[in-house]
Amino acid sequence: MAEQLICRNVTLGYEGDTVASGIDFKVSEGDYLCILGENGSGKSTLIKALLGLKPQMSGEIERYGDIEVGDIGYLPQQTVVQKDFPASVREIVLSGCLPKCGLRPYYKKEEKQLAENTMARLGITELANRCYRELSGGQQQRVLLARALCAAQKILLLDEPVTGLDPKAQLDMYELISELNRDGVTIIMVSHDFTAATKYASHILHIGAHHQLFFGTAADYLASDVGKIFSERTVAENG
């Protein structure tokens, strides 16, 4: 499989303070990588670095093939502003095509078609004229996922995509992401849901308090010391 992203010994931080160091992993076409880590372990800083929003302190992040900055579709966490935003689903999904416009002040026919197709693909066509703020959490995430898919078809970077959803909606969301992955979309998902990560992902990157604890396939992770400690803790919490 063709490699798409490689991180070599990356150190992340803010204004001289190191948040995480020794980040070392690669993502190939069709992978489903789940980034695990507790709050404050530098997951969100890593996202910013991968998206090219914020440079890393040291190390290299390389993009291969035809992947450039902006070719990664991003599903951010919801912001306060969006909670009462008057916008229709179609307007939001279509805005995913905006990067293709450059300075052109209108959307082309193909872009509008792409938005319609993507809504159909994610099963939200009948919501197209509904107002975003009146949708359920799961439906809102689907809308944002559709927007990300309009912006980029090869890699999706999902930041805690199931946070705040009820169990049924969480399951639907995970299934939908897996389906996209089976269609050939590379998935990078940030999460602290150990069970779902090991169930759905092909690879796991586990970041500890200040440095990387594990990178490898999900099967290897479950057999590793880090994975065992984490799995016992999860069982203890849930049992």
Q: Name the site residues for other proteins (rule: CB under 8 A).
A: 51-53, 68-70, 72-74, 76, 79, 81-82, 85-88, 91-92, 95-96, 98-99, 101, 105-107, 129-131, 134, 144, 147-148, 151-152, 157
User: Which contiguous run of DSSP H or E holds residue 128?
Assistant: none
| Shortest Cβ 86–other proteins spacing (Å) | 5
Of the two residues 81 and 236, which places its CB atom closer to other proteins in the complex? 81
CA distances from 195 to 5, 59, 109, 183, 231 (A): 25, 31, 42, 23, 8
User: What are the beta bridge partners of residue 50?
Assistant: none
> CB of 188 within 8 A of CB of 21?
no
Of the two residues 20 and 157, which places its CB atom closer to other proteins in the complex? 157
Of the two residues 74 and 221, which places its CB atom closer to other proteins in the complex? 74
Measured between alpha carbons, how far is 161 from 38 in angstroms, rounded to an integer?
A: 16
| Shortest Cβ 21–other proteins spacing (Å) | 24
Of the two residues 62 and 220, which places its CB atom closer to other proteins in the complex? 62
Of the two residues 85 and 126, which places its CB atom closer to other proteins in the complex? 85
Q: 160 in the Ramachandran plot: left (φ > 0), alpha (ψ -120 to 50) or beta? A: left
> CB of 32 within 8 A of CB of 17?
no
Checking DSSP bridges between strand 58-63 and strand 32-37, what pairing results, if any?
unpaired
